[in-house]
Amino acid sequence: MARLRNGAGARPAHHVPAILRRPAPWPIPPGWRNQEGMTTPRMDQVDIAIVGAGAVGLAAALALAEGGRRIALLGPVPTHRDGRTVALLDGSWRLLGDLGLHDALADKAAPLAVMRLVDDTGSLFRQPPVEFRASEVGLPAFGWNVENAELVAALAGKLATRAGIRHEPGLVSGITPDEDGVVLSGEGFSLRARLVVGADGRRSRVREAAGITARDWDYPQSALTAIFAHARDHRDVSTEFHTRKGPFTLVPLPGRRSSLVWLLDPAEADEVAALDDAPFARRVERQAHSLLGAMRLDGPRGRVPMGGLSVERFGADRMVLVGEAAHVFPPIGAQGLNLGLRDVMALRDAVDETSDPGAPAAVSAYDQARQADVRLRTGAVDTLNRTLLTDLMPADLLRGAGLLALSRIGPLRRLVMRQGLAGGMAR
């Protein structure tokens, strides 16, 4: 049943909300008038429909509703917990502040004041750890780390209090573009939008309906995720050990807790994932060289096969792509969701002040705005991941020289920090 998230609760299916009874601001195709001959379309109309209610879709709904547009968010809010946390860089954190989420997240997120890279590959050219301090670029923290499930719950909580956003928890099964809109249908709903935002993840139906070609690839890796309580303070330091199998990263959470992201080849991931909780924690502690002292599992664990995806363009035919519908890469350097939230900011700018958010000019402005940022990050993460996976001497030498340069040359380090945060910095 359709629900308007305006605090009024569920309404009967036949009820037409006042906002939809207003004359539509675009021509209504013949046959769309109701039986009374009023200019109310038979099918519900919205300005923007967002498909997918993960973190990016929820953030998009809240951000795009700010202009007073009629928004529909389509899809179930995910509730599963798998130990995955997301490190949200400065600009993402500011966006969440703009959306009114800081209070809800204050005691759930930990600041990332220092990021430490440790070469744990055993390479001949191994370099000492490199530390990046947020204070070097004038920030109290690079960002904040929060459990993904907590972030999604906070976004969904905020959405439930916002007027003008209609949420349909069913999956979208039909997407049909017409001349000046797109018709979407699914479990219990059918509506027409001037712009459709595909926030429906790696296997995006919106991407398919828009005819946007994607390049999709796999890495011989799986990520294990978990949250731990530990004996020593993390002192707001995130540590990324670069191992031959991929990065092993411990990221601070509030209190003496940290999250783990451990990339392994699938066979070793099978073996480690099969361990019971206590031996698993001991294995992680050993891999971390006991950096945080004794470790104990503090929640459910998860496992994600690693892959990448990039698209030739970010929009077509009144449809645009955000988040993992548009880009996927391994969790190195905390880029994925940050990039997704930058998609949201760019989309908000592209449709700002346009009377028709799905007009070709708005879709093309969004595409242009996202090309360089997304390609740069996808390429950088892919290259770093592949140099870790190879034991070829030139790759080791280059990586070692890069880390050495980063540890010794202050301006270069600051440049890399700014690039890592770029677009995520305050605008």
Ligand X SMILES: Cc1cc2nc3c(=O)[nH]c(=O)nc-3n(C[C@H](O)[C@H](O)[C@H](O)COP(=O)(O)OP(=O)(O)OC[C@H]3O[C@@H](n4cnc5c(N)ncnc54)[C@H](O)[C@@H]3O)c2cc1C
Stretch of residues binding ligand X (CB under 6 A), selected from 45-53, 124-132, 358-366, 413-421:
45-53
**Contact by Cβ (8 Å): 238, 112:** yes
| Vertex 317: Cα angle to 315 and 321 (nearest 5) | 25
Binders of ligand X among residues 184 to 203 (CB under 6 A) are 199-201
Of 4, 44, 62, 75, the one binding ligand X (CB under 6 A) is: 75
Contact call for residue 74 and ligand X (CB under 6 A):
yes
Asked whether position 53 contacts ligand X by CB under 6 A, the answer is yes
C-alpha dist (Å) from residue 375 to 34, 75, 220, 311, 328: 47, 28, 22, 9, 11
**How many residues line the site for ligand X (CB under 6 A)?**
34
In this chain, which of 40, 44, 52, 127 binds ligand X, going by CB under 6 A?
Answer: 52
> Rounded to the nearest 5°, which phi and psi values hold at 145?
-105, 130
319-338 footprint of ligand X as x/- string (CB under 6 A): ----xx------x--xxxxx
Nearer to ligand X, 20 or 86 (CB): 86
Q: Whose Cβ is closer to ligand X: residue 93's or residue 313's? A: 93
- The separation between CA 8 and the C-alpha centre of its own chain, rounded to angstroms, equals 30
Say which DSSP state 338 is in: H
Task: For residue 164, state whether it binds ligand X (rule: CB under 6 A).
Answer: no
**Which residue from 5, 81, 84, 377 is in contact with ligand X, where contact means CB under 6 A?**
84
Comparing CA positions, the residue from 370, 405, 402, 374 lying closest to residue 388 is 402
> Smallest distance, Å, CB 22 to ligand X?
27
* CB 56, min distance to ligand X, A: 3
**From candidates 183, 275, 304, 398, binder to ligand X by CB under 6 A:** 304
Helix (H) or strand (E) holding 258: strand 257-264
Distance CA 198, CA 320 (A): 6
Name the amino acid, one letter, at 62. L
Q: Which of these ranges, 71-79, 131-139, 274-282, 349-357, lies near ligand X under the rule CB under 6 A?
A: 71-79
Given the rule CB under 6 A, which of 81-89, 124-132, 278-286, 379-387 is the region that contacts ligand X? 81-89
Q: Which of residues 218-237 bind ligand X (CB under 6 A)?
A: 223, 225
Query: What distance lies between CA 106 and its chain's CA centroid?
Result: 19
Q: Do 51 and 196 meet the contact criterion of CB atoms below 8 Å apart?
A: yes
Tokens of 185: 């249908």
Q: Which of 64, 71, 73, 86 touches ligand X (CB under 6 A)?
A: 86
CB of 75 or CB of 246, closer to ligand X: 75
End-to-end CA distance of the chain: 40
Minimum CB distance to ligand X smaller for 205 or for 370: 205
Indicate which single residue of 71, 214, 261, 403 sits in contact with ligand X (rule: CB under 6 A). Answer: 261
Q: Where are the alpha helices (DSSP H) in 100-216?
A: 102-105, 148-160, 205-209
What three-state secondary structure class fits 384?
helix
273 binds ligand X (CB under 6 A): no
- From the list 172, 237, 311, 319, which residue makes contact with ligand X (rule: CB under 6 A)? 172
Question: Contact with ligand X (CB under 6 A): which of 205, 230, 370, 377?
Answer: 205
Q: Residue 353 carries which side chain, given as an amino acid letter?
A: E
Nearer to ligand X, 181 or 331 (CB): 331
Concatenated DSSP letters for 302-370? EEEEEEEEEES-SEETTEEE-GGGTEE--SSSS-HHHHHHHHHHHHHHHHTT-S-TTSHHHHHHHHHHH
Distance (Å, rounded) from C-alpha 70 to C-alpha 138?
Answer: 39
Looking at residue 328, the DSSP 8-state letter turns out to be: E
Nearest distance, CB of residue 44 and ligand X, angstroms? 17
**In sequence order, what are the residues at sequence separation of 6 or more whose Cβ sits closer than 8 angstroms to the Cβ of residue 10?**
1, 3
Least Å distance, CB 394 to ligand X, is 29
> Three-class SS of residue 207?
helix
Q: Per-residue contact track with ligand X, 110 to 149, x per CB under 6 A?
A: --------------------------------------x-
Q: Which residues contact 272 (CB under 8 A, 6 or more apart)?
A: 224, 262, 264, 280, 283
> Considering only residues 164, 181, 340, 357, which one is a binding residue for ligand X as defined by CB under 6 A?
340
d(CA 43, CA 40): 8
Is the Cβ of residue 171 or residue 404 nearer to ligand X in the bound state? 171
Residues contributing to the site for ligand X (CB under 6 A) = 51-57, 74-76, 78, 84, 86-87, 148, 171-172, 199-201, 205, 223, 225, 261, 304, 323-324, 331, 334-338, 340
